[in-house]
Chain A
């Protein structure tokens, strides 16, 4: 899940709401979709910008760990699949920026907020991809975790966000299958490949669990965001679902989930498992992930080095339309 710990700007009880706010909440409760031209509380708008922006930035920064292997992909077919996948992620970023723009913020503004550290992206992309198996693990686990969160978000209350999610989800399930396919080849491959596969699972397991964010059972932010239907499920609930889905897949691959306490719990019909290290999570969110500095540098360099190109494109477009006007 690419939006973690979204602080909510709302939190009013029914009695505190203005008539407009109450009518807005009624529409959401009735399952209606909110469109850009509709009235909306300022808090809803701001919170959504934060959430969609964080999601968009995650897609963009998320290109980097996988892009890290494009030039080292082991076959032409794998290279094409990976490149197409990373291209999809750029496309997801684009849909999401467009959705956020309907709320009155420009893509350039959001980019500047990302580069200055005021907007965040998912903690997961601050981890390194060290072997080809990591490309499998990212598709399998990271896209897998993203889907857990994004499938329900197809029913989110904000129309443009919901439509972006519908398009994105179709592609994400491909990504997950392709990732699993790489893991299968690796897990059934040579000794070295099996070692890479296990090592990838060892390193990506807990960071994947962190993607859902810390328990939000008590969080007022989550409660408000759920009331607005921009968050659909609780973090623990999704994490449980993810673990229950993923453990049998790891077994199928013949890989060991790196958790001594992992155990099927008949009573709850799910696995008991260890929590990730939440201190690490908070540190990573603050920018102390193993590749955080590298990721931000890569995005900043792309932006700075591309300035002359963007300026030239704008200048050329202006000259062209001036020439067209002069000719008319």
Chain B
């Protein structure tokens, strides 16, 4: 596959699937301000998904909607982390933080992409994602430091999500090819920034980073998604699948 298309699909699917997960909170958040903030994040991510999938579609002749609503799990290229179910609010916040910490490094690196269509989207998205990281960091800190219960929940969330977090930082052949072409940053170059963010934020949150560096793989190359993705797609794609060809 065309490397720009492959990158756009990965970025687009991350934004699409995480945006969807976050939108599942709609109307059910712990406080009203949080309902509003979660909707903001979901909206940013859906907007980014439209841009990335639009680019991916340019390459293979499908629209962003066709890519979002008419592919099956094995054709999705999102990280396993973003497809994980919301769990409690703490797990949602932790998932967001672990993703944002990688996402922001990745987008910063892509701002100087040799491919102008990539750098253009990255420059727009990075401003939004810097804000996402600021917010999710503050929340991880507040909930980690807050009460005994919240601390325990956040530590449990971190441990639960940890095996899903490493995939983003493990280079595969597509990553290598993209870095060689100067389209995206090398995965190794993202690690120092990601680790520094984690140490600073999780430290202030009084949370312990798990020692294991085990990471599940199979999301970004589509070889083995988790079961959760199929259920998400079942819901997200239902109307388009049930009434093919209709315009909405």
Q: Which residues of A contact B (CB under 8 A)?
A: 60, 63-64, 67, 70-80, 83-84, 86-87, 90-91, 93-94, 97, 107, 132, 182, 185, 189-190, 192-193, 298, 301-303, 305-317, 319
Contacts and interface: CB of A to CB of B under 8 A. Distances in A.
A80 to B, nearest CB: 5
Interface in B18-76: 20, 23-24, 26-36, 39-40, 42-43, 46-47, 49-50, 53, 64-65, 68-69
B236 A80 contact: no
Contacts of A94: 32-33, 36
Contacts of B235: 71-72
Contact of A72 (B29, B46, B90, B236): B236
A50 B49 CA distance: 43
A237 B247 CA distance: 38
B28 A301 contact: yes
A313 B142 contact: yes
B214 interface: no
B248 A75 contact: yes
A316 B23 contact: no
Given A310-B30, A316-B146, A83 B89 contact: no
A86 B27 CA distance: 8
A275 B28 CA distance: 35
A192 to B, nearest CB: 6
A156 B16 CA distance: 43
A94 B235 CA distance: 30
Given A86-B26, A94-B36, A306-B31, 11 more contacts: A67-B28, A71-B23, A74-B248, A87-B36, A90-B32, A93-B32, A107-B32, A302-B30, A309-B90, A310-B30, A315-B146
B125 to A, nearest CB: 15
B88 interface: yes
B233 to A, nearest CB: 11
Given A67-B27, A83-B43, A310-B30, A192 B35 contact: no
B153 interface: yes
Given A83-B43, A302-B29, A309-B89, A72 B50 contact: no
B167 interface: no
Given A72-B238, A87-B39, A319-B145, A190 B243 contact: yes
A291 B186 CA distance: 52
Contacts of B88: 305
A182 B247 CA distance: 10
Given A308-B149, A312-B147, A75 B43 contact: no
Contacts of A107: 32
Contact of A309 (B40, B64, B143): B143
A93 B142 CA distance: 25
Interface of B: 16, 20, 23-24, 26-36, 39-40, 42-43, 46-47, 49-50, 53, 64-65, 68-69, 88-90, 141-143, 145-147, 149-150, 153, 235-236, 238-240, 243, 245-248
Which 9 pairs, one residue from A and one from B, show the smallest C-beta to C-beta distance? A306-B30, A312-B146, A312-B150, A63-B27, A87-B39, A67-B27, A74-B248, A309-B30, A67-B26
Given A91-B36, A132-B248, A309-B143, A83 B24 contact: no
A317 B150 CA distance: 14
B176 to A, nearest CB: 30
Contacts of A309: 30-31, 34, 89-90, 143, 150
B150 A74 contact: no
B143 A316 contact: yes
Nearest to B33: A94
Contacts of B20: 71
A83 B150 contact: no
Contacts of A317: 142
Given A190-B243, A306-B30, A76 B49 contact: yes
Contacts of B36: 87, 90-91, 94
B49 A90 contact: no
27 contacts: A70-B23, A71-B20, A72-B235, A74-B246, A74-B248, A75-B248, A77-B65, A79-B23, A90-B36, A90-B39, A91-B36, A185-B247, A189-B246, A189-B247, A190-B243, A193-B243, A303-B30, A305-B30, A305-B89, A306-B29, A309-B143, A311-B147, A312-B142, A312-B143, A312-B149, A315-B150, A316-B145
Contacts of B141: 316
B43 A84 contact: yes
Given A80-B46, A84-B39, A302 B28 contact: yes
B65 A75 contact: yes
Given A83-B42, A312-B147, A75 B69 contact: yes
A44 to B, nearest CB: 26
Given A76-B49, A94-B33, A193-B243, A308 B39 contact: no
A96 to B, nearest CB: 11
A74 B240 contact: yes
Contacts of A303: 30
A181 to B, nearest CB: 11
B26 A63 contact: yes
Given A63-B35, A76-B64, A91-B36, A83 B27 contact: no
